[in-house]
């Protein structure tokens, strides 16, 4: 994984390129869509809202276009400082992108949150809509959703997709490429993300914590990588899971250390596959009182 930008000249005339911000409510499948389009995991996915915190780039190089996807945290009405930062990051990405891909959850239907997003998108011409999770949706449920979206954002293309099953991806990509400006190939074709291995390790560990804990814990979790050392075929990583309270630390550790062991094991297995080498992974849990309310710590934890 590298972040080198090279202006390759071997692209056909009319080559298109630019940023596509993937936006939408929490949990509609934005990160899943990105991973599936790339065929590579670059963003972590859980059934919980507020899984994606920062801005993650996923780069798809096609023969005649390069799409630089920006995965963003979900758009919602923030109540905490952490959520406020996440929503701001998403709004900035949407404003700065060449194209916006608005993802709507067909299984959840169109919510008040979606209507608020549609209002924000009204002035943006280069926008298209992915109506996601159409797998398992009754056939007759699709038409009213399409009609409602067309009414909310007239003239924008709406593509029904299933990120999980990669349904209608060709149509989706075709539409996105059409909306992009003519431009060069910014990244080498083999580069698919701007995430460093360190950041990926941090995110995968956080994903495992989220998947294995309930309710209040996810929002209180941050992960830092304290050591990432390459030793040939093995990498040595030590990480800290930060929580806000002793009670949360106890939950993450679990009875007899069972949960933290499982979190470490699951993260190691996945990271070994993603990074292509064996890992020695050590994970600690630490209480950082009220970190979600302390500006300095928010900064340290990447907000
Ligand atoms: N049935 C179904 N579930 C999906 C689909 N795409 C995503 N999901 C699930 O929706 C949940 C949220 O996905 P995620 O990508 O983290 O959503 P994000 O918050 O918008 O990034 C996860 O449990 C996914 O497995 C889909 O096409 N069909
Ligand atoms: Mg996400």
Nearest to 246 by CA among 288, 201, 291: 288
Mean pLDDT in the chain?
91
Strand partners, 235: 230, 279
Residues 55-106 have pLDDT tens digits of: 789 999 999 999 999 999 888 888 888 888 888 888 998 999 999 999 999 9
On the question of pLDDT at 266 being above 60, the answer is yes
* Minimal-distance CA residue to ligand 1 atom 1: 133
* Minimal-distance CA residue to ligand 1 atom 14: 29
DSSP 193: B
Q: How confident is the model at residue 225 (pLDDT cuts 50, 70, 90)?
A: very high
Q: How confident is the model at residue 293 (pLDDT cuts 50, 70, 90)?
A: confident
On the question of pLDDT at 215 being above 80, the answer is no
Pocket test for ligand 1, best of 22, 23, 27, 42 (most atoms within 8 A of CB): 27
Q: Is the CB of 159 under 6 A from ligand 1?
A: no
Beta-carbon contacts of 41 under 8 Å, excluding residues fewer than 6 positions away, are: 35, 274
Residues 161-205 have pLDDT tens digits of: 999 999 999 999 999 999 999 999 999 999 999 888 999 999 999
- The pLDDT value given to residue 59: 96
Average pLDDT over residues 18-39: 96
Q: How confident is the model at residue 3 (pLDDT cuts 50, 70, 90)?
A: very low
On the question of pLDDT at 48 being above 60, the answer is yes
DSSP 56-108: EEEEEE-SSEEEEEEE-PPP----SHHHHHHHHHHHHHHHHSSEEEEEEETTT
Distance 127 CA to ligand 2 centre (A): 19
Q: Which ligand ends up closest to the CA of 45?
A: 1
Beta-carbon contacts of 95 under 8 Å, excluding residues fewer than 6 positions away, are: none
Q: How confident is the model at residue 1 (pLDDT cuts 50, 70, 90)?
A: very low
Q: Is the CB of 160 under 6 A from ligand 1?
A: no
CA–CA separation, 286 vs 185, rounded Å? 44
> What domains appear along the chain, each with residue ranges and CATH number?
5-187 (3.40.50.300), 197-300 (3.30.300.20)
Find the length of the chain.
Answer: 303
Beta-carbon contacts of 287 under 8 Å, excluding residues fewer than 6 positions away, are: 242, 243, 244, 245, 246, 248, 249
On the question of pLDDT at 216 being above 80, the answer is no
Residues 92-125 have pLDDT tens digits of: 989 999 999 999 999 999 999 999 999 999 989 8
pTM equals 0.89
CA–CA separation, 60 vs 66, rounded Å? 6
């Amino acid at each position: 994984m590298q972040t080198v930008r090279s202006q390759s000249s071997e692209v056909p005339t009319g080559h298109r390129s630019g940023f596509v911000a993937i936006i939408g409510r929490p949990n509609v499948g934005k990160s899943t869509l990105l991973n599936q389009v790339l065929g590579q995991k670059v963003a972590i996915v859980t059934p919980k809202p507020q899984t994606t915190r920062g801005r993650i780039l996923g780069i798809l190089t096609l023969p005649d276009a390069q799409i630089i996807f920006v995965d963003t945290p979900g758009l919602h009405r923030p109540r905490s400082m952490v959520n406020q930062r996440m929503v701001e990051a998403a709004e900035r990405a949407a404003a700065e992108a060449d194209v916006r891909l608005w993802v709507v959850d067909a299984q959840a239907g169109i919510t008040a949150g979606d209507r608020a997003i549609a209002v924000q998108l009204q002035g943006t011409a280069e926008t298209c809509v992915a109506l996601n999770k159409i797998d398992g949706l009754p056939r007759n449920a699709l038409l009213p959703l399409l009609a409602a979206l067309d009414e909310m954002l007239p003239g924008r293309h709406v593509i029904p997709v299933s990120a999980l099953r990669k349904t209608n991806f060709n149509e989706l990509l075709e539409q996105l490429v059409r909306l992009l400006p003519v431009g060069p190939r910014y990244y080498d074709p083999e580069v698919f993300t701007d995430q460093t291995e360190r950041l990926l390790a941090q995110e995968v560990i956080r994903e495992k914590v989220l998947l294995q804990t309930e309710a209040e814990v996810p929002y209180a979790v941050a992960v830092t990588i304290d050591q990432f050392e390459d030793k040939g075929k093995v990498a040595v990583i030590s990480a800290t899971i930060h929580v806000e309270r002793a009670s949360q630390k106890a939950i993450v550790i679990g009875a007899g250390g069972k949960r933290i062991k499982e979190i470490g094991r699951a993260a190691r297995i996945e990271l070994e596959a993603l990074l292509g080498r064996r890992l020695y992974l050590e994970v600690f849990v630490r209480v950082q009182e009220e970190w979600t309310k302390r500006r300095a710590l928010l900064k340290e934890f990447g907000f």
